[in-house]
């Protein structure tokens, strides 16, 4: 910036509202930075004091007493400033006023006065300085605003409308000025220690209780933030940090912030009742956040006894997926931890706030990193939907360098989750790619704008026409913000798609799939994404377990699959000790446990009857700990001789296993024929249950028949195509397929797989 006044080497800025508060502090700070400052405000006496103070400190300032709500007066003042000081390189729109009142307490004259400052004051000043800024190809407009410009609260109708208009002006300028070299910044502060509330009696009492969570800020600190924006312009800045947290929550869950504002703010009721109710609610919210979690309860799931399969997902595997697919500058670290004792899932990690943003608001850069925990208790509803409860006191964040995390943690009020989700339906649809809500809103606004144009053309009352024009301008600004909001959600939706992509989910409608109740989210789970060969089933349960049976002990999430198929406990005893097995060389990432009834379809039974012809009667299969039991009757002449043998199923190498019949001698029985029928039946069962997944090879080793099976891992678990089948096993009533990655010590097996 090289704008210099006549005969000086100073850059010049205009600061409105410069007689006190943020405006005066900003003018003084800019003067210390070497700027010449043109001071604008209505109060000539107060303005002269600020001018004298700046000059006394060696700075350059000139006072221009002006009513910034008067367009003609503003235009004349700006021309004087340009003539006496030089081109204006910086405009700080700091003028603002207004009482917090309900609409019935606000007269039309009061409403127009509140629109004068800040909105029309900013509009007139920006309008006057813009031609020269555009001609020079540089300049900065800083619009100082209140949190109600994005996070409203009750009891401040006129004030809030004016602040939204100022924000709309900024949003429109960011679009209009693209590529011109002139920029617009929106700077939002929390409650400031100034004379504002003393000059507007009754307003401070209407602050919602949640506003007390944002620390007080001094005008001098606000001035430092504004000057930091002048040094490095940004589109929007919130200060202090807690206000930035509220803004972030409001961006993704506006309904929650709105509900808190309504419940803790002023109401259309006796004042003492409204404030007392709000205070009690805030106290209850904080108390419940600090209370111990309620005793765990278990939801009964219809048909839990009909569990026909379980999908066990290892903790380590999920963390690998997070590391590979969930990458973000804001969340550089994310891990999941299973707690089998408490039945909990904990998401833990780090949140990084951009250091540049912290420097801009003079906040300690050590506060840029936070650790967080999100506690989840999984359950299943009677309808078979996944229910994720967020237990109270188990979701929080704290500074990463904290030496006392328990003391420094900030508990997140998860009991407001349902309110947030209910209010975000349109946003959830947009994040899923459905922007029909935006299209409807845009169409409605355009119709309203057309009606306003007609009313302005036909209305004869001058004051009414003026009010209608103001309403039209406000509506235009809201209409202009829709494309910006839509683009932001499109970008966010792309990020969500990338995060969900590793799970195999391709077409997700968050509105259809999500619901909420208090501190829980209900999600419809499509089991077909995990195992497409499981047809006609539903979610039967979710458990957090310590799995010691299927390899080295590890914590797993067990997703149980339910069906109306009748499942009975086996009555067949083990025939002897389990066949010795080598220690597992693999750490399974996912384990499929399939009940034997899934392999007993009518089609398979009919095929077995045809294959056995008249020789085999009542062929039965039973998965037991010592192997697969095969029994039935073999007809010899006029006598049916019962037979009972065991089949071993064991892994060969990656993605391959074999099925082998143990020798069992009974006089008069053609065992070669019996083995052929048994192996053929197993082949049909596997092919029926896993269509297109298996390739089969019938082999002969001397007098032994063997069935070898090769599995396509990408079809076995579509959500994890890079994993392999590493082991198979049979247990009481279940067939187990273990999917994972080979460990470094399995070179011999991988060499065998290449043969």
Ramachandran region, residue 579 (left: φ > 0; alpha: ψ -120 to 50; beta: rest): beta
With H, G, I as helix, E, B as strand and everything else as coil, classify residue 351. strand
Cα dihedral across residues 186, 188, 193, 198: positive or negative: positive
Which contiguous run of DSSP H or E holds residue 754?
helix 747-754
Q: Identify the residue whose tokens are 């910034």.
A: 68
Dihedrals φ, ψ of 746, to 5°? -100, 30
DSSP string, 416-459: GHHHHHHHTHHHHHHHTT--HHHHHHHHHHHHHHHHHHHHHHH-
Name the token pair of 126: 């920006």
166, 143 Cβ separation under 8 angstroms = yes
- For the chain, the C-alpha Rg in angstroms (whole number) is 36
Name the token pair of 182: 């002139």
Name the token pair of 382: 């009677």
Pick from 703, 647, 654: nearest CA to 680: 647
Dihedrals φ, ψ of 351, to 5°? -115, 130
Pick from 210, 213, 214: nearest CA to 282: 210
- Among the listed residues 119, 159, 427, 634, the single catalytic one is 159
Name the token pair of 223: 């001035």
Prior bond of 352 cis (ω within 30°) = no
Q: What is the dihedral of CA 287, 291, 295, 297, to 10 degrees?
A: 50
The full 3-state SS of 628-691, as one line of letters, equals EEEEEEEEECCEEEEEEEEEEEEEEECCEEEEEECCCCCCCCCHHHHHHHHHHHHHHHHHHHCC
Name the token pair of 728: 């198979």
Buried b (16+ CB within 10 A) or exposed e, 593-605: bbbbbbbbeeebe
Query: What is the CB neighbour count within 10 angstroms for residue 674?
Result: 23
Instruction: State the DSSP code for 32.
Output: H
Distance CA 50, CA 19 (A): 6
Dihedrals φ, ψ of 576, to 5°? 180, -170
With H, G, I as helix, E, B as strand and everything else as coil, classify residue 472. helix
Cα dihedral across residues 619, 625, 626, 627: positive or negative: positive
Query: What is the CB neighbour count within 10 angstroms for residue 454?
Result: 10
Give me the sheet containing 616-624, strands edge to edge: 616-624, 627-636, 639-653, 656-661, 704-711, 694-701
Distance CA 437, CA 574 (A): 62
Give the β-pairing of 35-41 and 60-65: parallel
Instruction: State the DSSP code for 120.
Output: I
In the annotation, is 398 catalytic?
no
Max CA-CA distance within the chain? Answer: 126
| 624: Cα separation from own chain's centroid | 45
203, 157 Cβ separation under 8 angstroms = no
Which contiguous run of DSSP H or E holds residue 377?
strand 369-380
Residue numbers annotated as active site = 159
């Amino acid at each position: 910036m090289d704008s210099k006044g006549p005969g000086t080497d100073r850059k010049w800025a205009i600061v409105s509202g410069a007689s006190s508060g943020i405006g005066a502090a900003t003018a003084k700070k800019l003067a210390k930075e070497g700027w010449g400052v043109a001071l604008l405000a209505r109060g000539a006496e107060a303005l002269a004091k600020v001018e004298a103070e700046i000059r006394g400190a060696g700075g350059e300032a000139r006072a221009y007493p002006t009513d910034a709500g008067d367009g003609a007066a503003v235009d004349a003042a700006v021309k004087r400033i340009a003539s006496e000081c030089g081109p204006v390189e910086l405009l700080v729109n700091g003028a603002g006023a207004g009482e917090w009142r309900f609409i019935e307490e606000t007269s039309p004259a009061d409403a127009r006065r509140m629109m004068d400052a800040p909105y029309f004051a900013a509009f007139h000043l920006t309008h006057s300085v813009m031609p020269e800024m555009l001609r020079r190809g540089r300049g900065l407009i800083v619009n100082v605003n209140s949190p109600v410009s994005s996070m409203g609260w009750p009891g401040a109708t006129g004030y809030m409308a004016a602040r939204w208009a100022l924000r709309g002006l900024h949003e429109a300028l960011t679009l209009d000025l693209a590529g011109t070299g002139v920029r617009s910044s929106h700077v939002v502060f929390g409650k400031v220690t100034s004379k504002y509330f003393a000059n507007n009696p009754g307003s401070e009492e209407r602050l919602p209780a949640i506003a007390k969570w944002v620390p007080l800020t001094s005008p001098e600190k606000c001035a430092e933030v504004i000057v930091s924006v002048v040094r490095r312009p940004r589109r929007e800045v919130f200060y202090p940090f807690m206000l930035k947290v509220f803004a972030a929550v409001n961006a993704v869950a506006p309904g929650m912030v709105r509900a808190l504002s309504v419940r803790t703010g002023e109401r259309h009721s006796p004042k003492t009742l409204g404030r007392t109710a709000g205070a009690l609610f805030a106290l209850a919210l904080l108390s419940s956040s600090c209370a111990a979690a309620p005793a765990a309860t278990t939801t009964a799931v219809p048909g839990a006894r009909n569990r026909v399969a379980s999908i066990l997902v290892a903790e380590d595997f999920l963390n690998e997926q997070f590391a590979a697919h969930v990458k973000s500058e804001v969340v550089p670290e994310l891990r999941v931890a299973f707690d089998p004792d408490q039945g909990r899932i904990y998401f833990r990690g780090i949140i990084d706030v951009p250091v540049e943003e912290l420097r801009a608001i003079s906040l300690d850069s050590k506060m840029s990193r936070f650790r967080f925990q999100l506690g989840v208790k999984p359950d299943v509803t009677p309808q078979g939907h996944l229910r994720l409860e967020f237990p109270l006191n188990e979701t929080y964040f704290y500074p990463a360098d904290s030496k006392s995390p328990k003391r420094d943690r900030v508990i997140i009020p998860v009991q407001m989750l349902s309110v947030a989700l209910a209010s975000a339906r349109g946003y959830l649809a947009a994040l899923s790619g459905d922007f029909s809500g935006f299209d409807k809103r845009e169409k409605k606004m355009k119709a309203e704008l057309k009606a306003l144009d007609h009313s302005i053309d036909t209305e004869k009352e001058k004051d009414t026409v003026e009010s209608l024009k103001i309403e039209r301008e406000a509506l235009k600004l809201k209409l202009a913000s829709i494309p910006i909001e839509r683009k932001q959600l499109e970008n966010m939706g792309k990020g969500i798609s990338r995060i969900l992509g590793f799970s195999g989910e391709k077409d997700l409608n968050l509105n259809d799939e999500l619901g909420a109740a208090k501190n829980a989210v209900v999600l419809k789970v499509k089991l077909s994404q995990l195992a497409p060969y499981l047809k006609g089933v539903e979610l039967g349960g979710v458990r957090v377990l310590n799995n010691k049976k299927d390899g080295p002990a590890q914590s797993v999430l067990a997703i149980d699959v339910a069906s109306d198929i009748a499942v009975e406990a086996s009555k067949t005893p083990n025939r002897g000790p389990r066949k010795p097995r080598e220690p597992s060389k693999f750490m399974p990432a996912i384990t499929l446990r399939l009940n034997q009834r899934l392999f007993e379809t009518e089609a398979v039974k009919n095929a077995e009857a045809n294959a056995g012809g008249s020789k085999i009667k009542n062929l039965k299969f039973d998965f037991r700990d010592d192997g697969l039991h095969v029994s039935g009757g073999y007809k010899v002449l006029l006598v049916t001789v019962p037979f009972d043998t065991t089949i071993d199923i064991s892994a060969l190498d990656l993605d391959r296993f074999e099925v082998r019949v143990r020798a069992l001698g009974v006089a008069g029985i053609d065992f070669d024929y019996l083995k052929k029928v048994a192996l053929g039946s197993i082949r049909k069962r596997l092919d029926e249950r896993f269509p297109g997944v298996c390739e089969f090879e019938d082999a002969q080793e001397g007098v032994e028949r063997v069935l070898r099976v090769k599995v396509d891992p990408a079809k076995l678990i579509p959500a994890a195509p890079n994993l392999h089948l590493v082991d198979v096993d049979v247990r009481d009533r279940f067939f187990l397929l273990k999917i994972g990655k080979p460990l470094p010590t399995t070179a011999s097996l991988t060499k065998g797989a290449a043969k």
